[in-house]
Amino acid sequence: MPDTALIEPDVLERVLSSALAGGGDMAEVFAEDAVTAGAMLDDRKIEELSSGRSRGAGIRVVDGETTGFAHTADLSEAGLLAAARAAAAVARQGDGGVRTVALEPLAAHGRGDRTPPDRVDKGRKLELLTRADDAARSAGGAIGQVMVGCGDSRRRVLIANSEGLFAQDDQIRTRFNVTCVANGDTGMQTGYESLARTEGYEIFERHRVEDLARVAATRALTKLSARPAPSGEVPIVLAGGSGGILFHEACGHGLEADHIVKNASVYTGRVGEAVASPLVTLVDDGTVLGEWGNFAVDDEGHEPARNVLIENGVLTDYMWDWLRARKEGRTSSGNGRRQSYQHLPMVRMTNTYLLAGQEDPDEIIAQTPSGVYVKKLGGGQVNTATGDFVFGTTEAYLIENGRITEPLRDANLIGNGPEVLRRIDAVATDFDMTPGTCGKDGQSVPVGCGQATLRITGVTLGGTA
């Protein structure tokens, strides 16, 4: 993939001027060239070896409260001008005329110390899959099925708008995941583990795929002796890194400004209020190098920031994209994101996490007479208007007399985001993060979630006992 600009500056200036010829407040061009590749080993056979490319541009014209949007796979000047006219037709108001657009010098981003995945030999990728498969199967004879997958992408983006912004980024991501199925008297049990970083294949110089495979296999094997989870409200201890997704869903979405301006969040109008335990400081930070939600510029061309949303329990701010920030007379917080050039940007999280505390993680468990230790959370969902959520556990254990004892079968955590934030009474030092994919309004983007081991005094567990 060439390292030159996707579209020449003089072409961009003409396209933006054309987009505003009929009036409007702002015009924007978002161009993208993305290459993806993936491979999957299932039952020791290569079941998937895929690659793809997406290349095109989306053009947005904003006029007052109206937004016009059009996208095209044709990056020629003629194709871009046609898309600009289509977007302007939707947003057109005013008396017409020509607006001259002058772009600032290109702000190019992208780290040069990464190995682009398209330069990695397919044989090396297949070797990683085989090594992980062998390690998973060697963990125990009860492992009956192993699925190993890897994927990578390189996404070059260019953003220019009529306010003079002109930025470019080169984003590289690599992921690796292992799923194991164990067979026993209780039926089939599944274990899963993954690694995902905004890096190239140099990540495998620091992370061994065999370690990931053994974690996934052990998780499946442990569940063979698991007992049904109890039902009712119990204290929950979330292991470091495992529960960040809960706070991403349970309160993160409610702090996105599009929900706030629509009065569709329990946090609307509450800046300055205590909304959580004093032990809670919640941050959204797209600048954390290597994490899954890291980038140099967001999909509106703005640099990411470390945005403190809740500080010592007090709500301090929301997350903003350009459109919502403009209405409030403020600047974007670097949270304007989109799935591809075919989508409009919206307010999205990046890397969202709770800051570490000062407790020892083992002491938090020892000081919990009874409860459930959740080592790994699965997926979940939340109602942003109420804060109510449901999450699945994929690895959990009983806590009895301050000790972790029997493994539990998968169950659901059911609760309310604001209430859970108030019930956190201990936070440890062992901060860690996990990667994830966030879905919103039909769009998916990579995000990171994190927290240290912490205790929630009471959450409803939907078990089967």
Q: How confident is the model at residue 242 (pLDDT cuts 50, 70, 90)?
A: confident
Nearest residue to 374 (alpha-carbon basis) of 232, 233, 220, 236? 236
- The predicted model gives 95-101 an average pLDDT of 45
pLDDT at 70: 94
Write the DSSP string, 61-89.
EEETTEEEEEEES--SHHHHHHHHHHHHH
pLDDT at 119: 78
Instruction: Report CA torsion sign: 346, 347, 349, 350.
Output: positive
Is 429 a residue whose pLDDT tops 90? yes
pLDDT at 110: 64
pLDDT at 464: 63
Residue predicted with more confidence, 119 or 356: 356
Is 106 a residue whose pLDDT tops 90? no
Nearest residue to 150 (alpha-carbon basis) of 123, 178, 171? 178
Q: Range(s) for CATH 3.30.2290.10 in the chain?
A: 9-223
- The predicted model gives 330-335 an average pLDDT of 97
Is 100 a residue whose pLDDT tops 60? no
Cα(304)–Cα(294) distance, rounded to whole angstroms? 8
pLDDT at 3: 57
Q: How confident is the model at residue 446 (pLDDT cuts 50, 70, 90)?
A: very high
Helices (H) and strands (E) in the chain, counts: 9, 22
pLDDT at 41: 96
- pLDDT, tens digit, for every residue of 351-391? 999 999 999 999 999 999 999 999 999 888 888 888 899 99
Instruction: Report CA torsion sign: 303, 304, 308, 309.
Output: positive
Is 2 a residue whose pLDDT tops 90? no
pTM of full prediction above 0.85: yes
Question: Which CATH number is 9-223 given?
Answer: 3.30.2290.10
- pLDDT, tens digit, for every residue of 408-424? 999 999 999 999 999 99
Q: What is the mean pLDDT of the chain?
A: 92
- The predicted model gives 177-199 an average pLDDT of 94
Tokens of 86: 């289509």
Cα(305)–Cα(296) distance, rounded to whole angstroms? 10
Q: How confident is the model at residue 122 (pLDDT cuts 50, 70, 90)?
A: confident
Q: How confident is the model at residue 97 (pLDDT cuts 50, 70, 90)?
A: very low
Q: How confident is the model at residue 1 (pLDDT cuts 50, 70, 90)?
A: very low
Cα(423)–Cα(459) distance, rounded to whole angstroms? 9
Strand locations in 301-367 (E) = 306-311, 314-315, 336-337, 346-347, 351-354
Residue predicted with more confidence, 309 or 112: 309
- pLDDT, tens digit, for every residue of 278-327? 999 999 999 999 999 999 999 999 999 999 999 999 999 999 999 999 99
pLDDT at 385: 85
In sequence order, which ranges of 297-415 are alpha helices (DSSP H)? 322-327, 361-366
To the nearest 10 degrees (0 to 180), the angle between helices 9-19 and 77-91 is: 30
Q: How many CB atoms lie within 10 A of CB 388?
A: 17
Instruction: Report CA torsion sign: 128, 129, 134, 140.
Output: positive
Cα(105)–Cα(108) distance, rounded to whole angstroms? 9
pLDDT at 343: 97
Burial zone of 3 (CB within 10 Å; 0-12 exposed, 13-18 middle, 19+ buried): exposed
Least confident window among 83-87, 119-123, 208-212 = 119-123
pLDDT at 112: 60
Bin 187: left if φ > 0, else alpha if -120 < ψ < 50, else beta.
left
Is 36 a residue whose pLDDT tops 80? yes
Burial zone of 16 (CB within 10 Å; 0-12 exposed, 13-18 middle, 19+ buried): buried
Q: Which residues pair with 153 in a beta bridge?
A: 36, 173
Least confident window among 41-50, 91-100, 398-407 = 91-100
Is 159 a residue whose pLDDT tops 80? yes
pLDDT at 454: 98
